[in-house]
């Protein structure tokens, strides 16, 4: 009887110990104005819960809401920091490499001051648009530009053009260009620049999250509540928060929808007023082209509808002429959006750029100058790069340039990312686009019910019972598409001889921005080029299709006349473009992707 009693008495203790060890968690106290930084390795996950009435916490400006069941998971090699203004107490599961910063974080100093400066600019733009309703109507009904102009300014080293450009504002220089841009009622246009792994994308997220969380009302009407009361209608609560547009000019960053693209992502404070950072595969949100609508939760990814153009490279330096032309088209697409969306217009642009390298200094950072000119930037933020700050301050130091250059120190929490990690991240982003999220995660812990202490079991930790960002696993399927029904082009040749290697008097017939048609149906080399590649499906502005009938006869007559006159053509779309130029195809938005 004694042994039986002892066994029954020890059972509750064993059950309690099992319940405690099955879900290993611990608590961490954050002092005021501090950051809890963490880095995850492949296969690791961590989740946080803000304890009620313990303070405030946020990740890159996205708030953590306190609650018993509100867990915020992170995984897939995420590297982030939980910041707190007043101090907070966190409960976490599956701890990783972590630390509490012992240095002042820029989140509480320079980054917040920058947000307040942008907030003032947005309020001024809103006041101007509210006071001039006819201006809003005229901007929205202005004729759209079919084809944007290229920048007429040369940014090559040794040229005096940059100083000439900085003597006048971009708004004044755009008066003679084919563009939908108008300076009236524009919100702030800030571009973040710096070296590689300097925290540019983190600052972009912070500014976007704080803009969407703003208590300001982003609307043209200032008296909607009073008019509702006068009409006897029930007052509707105003939607607070700005509607900024993130412009991603870093093709290796992997913003929605995929890497190797340039994208403009209009944000809105609905249904969630923040960009979650649960997975680096979803840096600026999620498109619904493949996943469909997902249920909004505190941890789900922000739904975006990006305007995307295809670059096909992870580095703008490989074909800078092509990249600049795609930037022209993207900038014009953004201007058309801002002309018809007053909320986005007054909220402004937040532009992310690729990291600069030492070689960029030889051309006086021509890529940054070109992007600043294309998007009519009024503020350039330099993160931790003294030489870049000095050069840009020299270029835009004239008061009439209309561009403010400010330098911020690089945060001590920035993680240095190598090429291996970046390649792994791009593969993850492509896999997430086609196959969805990674699903719930389980961990293996010792099974204390085993008397020998060698058995293990799998358990699901708090916050790990769903996919990161709310992206469910997709069941992708393959389909066959006849190659003779596809028109596939490559931008330029894979390798071109230098101009000095051409015969005397000869000119290059294929340029860096010219489309070269592939023929995978009859060429094994072209088939090998397409194999294991991502092909972008673009929506051309005026449709496509081979010329037939009178159009084909006209094209053949023009080609014969050109040949008789001794004119060497450039190939391109030929008689299969339905009148479309190569440039129009380059500027066509992406509607989807095919994995061959």
Residue with tokens 């750029």: 353
- 111-122 tens-digit pLDDT: 999 999 999 999
Token pair of 368, please?
């940054």
Q: Give the pLDDT mean for 171-178.
A: 62
Using alpha carbons only, give the angle 156, 161, 164 rounded to the nearest 5 degrees.
Answer: 155
Give me the pLDDT at residue 88, please.
95
pLDDT band at 519 (very low <50, low <70, confident <90, very high): confident
Comparison of pLDDT for 583 and 338, the residue scoring more: 338
pLDDT band at 565 (very low <50, low <70, confident <90, very high): very low
Distances (CA, A) of 484 to 295, 488, 518, 519, 556: 41, 10, 11, 8, 22
Whole-angstrom Cα Rg for the chain: 28
Among the listed residues 262, 285, 269, the one whose alpha carbon sits nearest the alpha carbon of residue 333:
262
Comparison of pLDDT for 482 and 66, the residue scoring more: 66
3-state secondary structure of 495: coil
Residue with tokens 């707190």: 84
Q: Which helix (H) or strand (E) holds 549?
A: helix 549-564
Q: With a cut of 50, say whether residue 567 has pLDDT above it.
A: no
* Binding residue positions: 35, 79, 197-202
Distances (CA, A) of 444 to 138, 458, 550: 63, 4, 71
pLDDT band at 90 (very low <50, low <70, confident <90, very high): very high
Q: With a cut of 60, say whether residue 137 has pLDDT above it.
A: yes
pLDDT band at 277 (very low <50, low <70, confident <90, very high): confident
Q: What percent of the chain has pLDDT over 70?
A: 75
| Average pLDDT of the chain, as a whole number | 80
Q: With a cut of 50, say whether residue 16 has pLDDT above it.
A: no
Give me the pLDDT at residue 100, please.
76
Q: What is the DSSP letter of 245?
A: E
Token pair of 101, please?
């910063």
Side-chain half-sphere exposure of 443, counting CA atoms within 13 A: 20
3-state secondary structure of 290: coil
Q: With a cut of 80, say whether residue 363 has pLDDT above it.
A: yes
Give me the pLDDT at residue 434, please.
87
Q: Assess contact for 100 and 57: CB atoms under 8 A.
A: no
Per DSSP, the residues of 355-398 read: PB-GGGGGGTSHHHHHHHHHTT-SEEEEES-HHHHHHHHHHS-S
Give me the pLDDT at residue 175, please.
59
* Binding residue positions for ATP: 35, 79, 197-202
Cα separation of 488 and 530, whole Å?
9
What domains can be seen in the chain, in order of their start residue? Answer: 107-219+239-408 (3.40.50.300), 483-595 (no CATH)
Q: With a cut of 80, say whether residue 11 has pLDDT above it.
A: no
Give me the pLDDT at residue 495, please.
54
Q: Assess contact for 425 and 255: CB atoms under 8 A.
A: no
Give me the pLDDT at residue 36, please.
93
Q: With a cut of 80, say whether residue 229 has pLDDT above it.
A: no
Q: With a cut of 80, say whether residue 78 has pLDDT above it.
A: yes
Token pair of 292, please?
């469909």
3-state secondary structure of 458: strand
- 251-275 tens-digit pLDDT: 988 778 899 999 999 999 987 788 8
Q: With a cut of 50, say whether residue 522 has pLDDT above it.
A: yes
Give me the pLDDT at residue 527, please.
86
pLDDT band at 578 (very low <50, low <70, confident <90, very high): low
| Helix extents (H) in 291-358 | 320-340, 342-347
Give me the pLDDT at residue 559, please.
52
Measured over the CA atoms of residue 543, residue 548, residue 549 and residue 553, the dihedral's sign is: positive
Give me the pLDDT at residue 249, please.
96
- 292-340 tens-digit pLDDT: 566 667 778 888 889 999 999 999 998 899 999 999 999 999 999 999 9
Among the listed residues 578, 554, 581, the one whose alpha carbon sits nearest the alpha carbon of residue 569:
581
Cα separation of 146 and 579, whole Å?
14
pLDDT band at 420 (very low <50, low <70, confident <90, very high): very high
């Amino acid at each position: 009887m004694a042994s039986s009693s002892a066994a029954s008495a020890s059972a509750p203790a064993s059950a309690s110990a099992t319940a405690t060890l099955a879900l290993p968690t611990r608590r961490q106290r954050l002092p005021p104005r501090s950051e809890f930084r963490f880095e995850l390795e492949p296969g690791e996950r961590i989740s946080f819960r803000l304890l009620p009435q313990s303070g405030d916490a946020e990740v890159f400006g996205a708030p953590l809401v306190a609650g018993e069941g509100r867990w915020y998971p992170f995984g897939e090699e995420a590297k982030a920091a939980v910041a707190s203004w007043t101090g907070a107490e966190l409960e976490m599961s599956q701890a990783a490499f972590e630390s509490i910063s012992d240095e002042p974080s820029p989140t509480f100093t320079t980054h917040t001051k920058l947000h307040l400066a942008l907030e003032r600019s947005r309020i001024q733009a809103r006041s101007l648009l509210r006071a001039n309703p006819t201006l809003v109507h005229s901007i929205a009904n202005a004729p759209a530009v079919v084809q944007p102009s290229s920048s007429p300014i040369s940014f090559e080293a040794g040229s005096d053009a940059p100083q000439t450009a900085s003597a006048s504002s971009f708004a004044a220089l755009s008066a003679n260009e084919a563009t939908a841009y108008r300076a009236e009622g524009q919100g702030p246009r800030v571009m973040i620049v710096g070296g590689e792994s300097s925290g540019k994308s983190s600052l972009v997220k912070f500014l976007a999250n704080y803009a969407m969380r703003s208590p300001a009302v982003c609307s043209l009407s200032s008296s909607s509540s009073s008019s509702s009361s006068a009409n006897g209608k029930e007052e509707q609560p105003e939607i607070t928060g700005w509607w900024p547009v993130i412009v991603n000019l870093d093709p290796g960053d992997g913003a929605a929808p995929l890497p190797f693209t340039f994208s403009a992502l209009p944000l809105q404070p609905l249904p969630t007023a923040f960009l979650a950072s649960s997975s680096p595969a979803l840096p600026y949100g999620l498109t619904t082209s493949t996943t469909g609508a997902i249920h909004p939760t505190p941890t789900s990814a922000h739904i975006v509808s990006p305007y995307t153009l295809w670059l096909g490279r992870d580095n703008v330096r490989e074909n800078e002429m092509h990249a600049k032309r795609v930037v022209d088209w993207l900038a014009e697409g953004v201007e058309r959006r801002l002309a018809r969306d007053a909320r986005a217009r007054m909220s402004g642009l937040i532009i992310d750029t690729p990291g600069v390298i030492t070689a960029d200094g030889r051309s006086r950072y021509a890529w940054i100058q070109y992007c600043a000119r294309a998007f009519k930037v009024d503020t350039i933020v330099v993160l931790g790069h003294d030489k870049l700050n000095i050069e840009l301050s020299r270029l835009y130091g004239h008061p009439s340039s209309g561009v403010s250059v400010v330098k911020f120190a690089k945060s001590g929490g920035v993680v240095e990312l190598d090429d291996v990690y970046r390649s792994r991240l791009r593969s993850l982003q492509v896999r997430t686009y086609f196959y969805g999220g990674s699903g719930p995660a389980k961990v293996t812990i010792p099974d204390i019910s085993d008397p020998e202490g060698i058995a293990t079991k799998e358990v699901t930790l708090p916050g790990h019972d769903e996919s990161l960002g709310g992206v469910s696993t997709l069941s992708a399927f393959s389909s066959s598409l006849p190659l003779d029904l596809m028109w596939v082009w490559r931008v330029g040749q894979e390798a071109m001889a230098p101009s000095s290697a051409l015969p005397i008097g000869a000119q290059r017939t294929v340029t860096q921005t010219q489309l070269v048609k592939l023929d995978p149906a009859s060429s094994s080399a072209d088939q090998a080029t397409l194999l294991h590649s991502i092909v972008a499906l673009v929506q051309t502005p005026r449709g496509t299709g081979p010329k037939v009938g009178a159009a084909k006869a006209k094209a053949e007559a023009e080609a014969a006349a050109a040949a008789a006159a001794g004119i060497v053509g450039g190939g391109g779309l030929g008689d299969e473009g339905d009148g479309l130029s190569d440039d129009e195809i380059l500027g066509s938005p992406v509607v989807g992707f095919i994995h061959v």
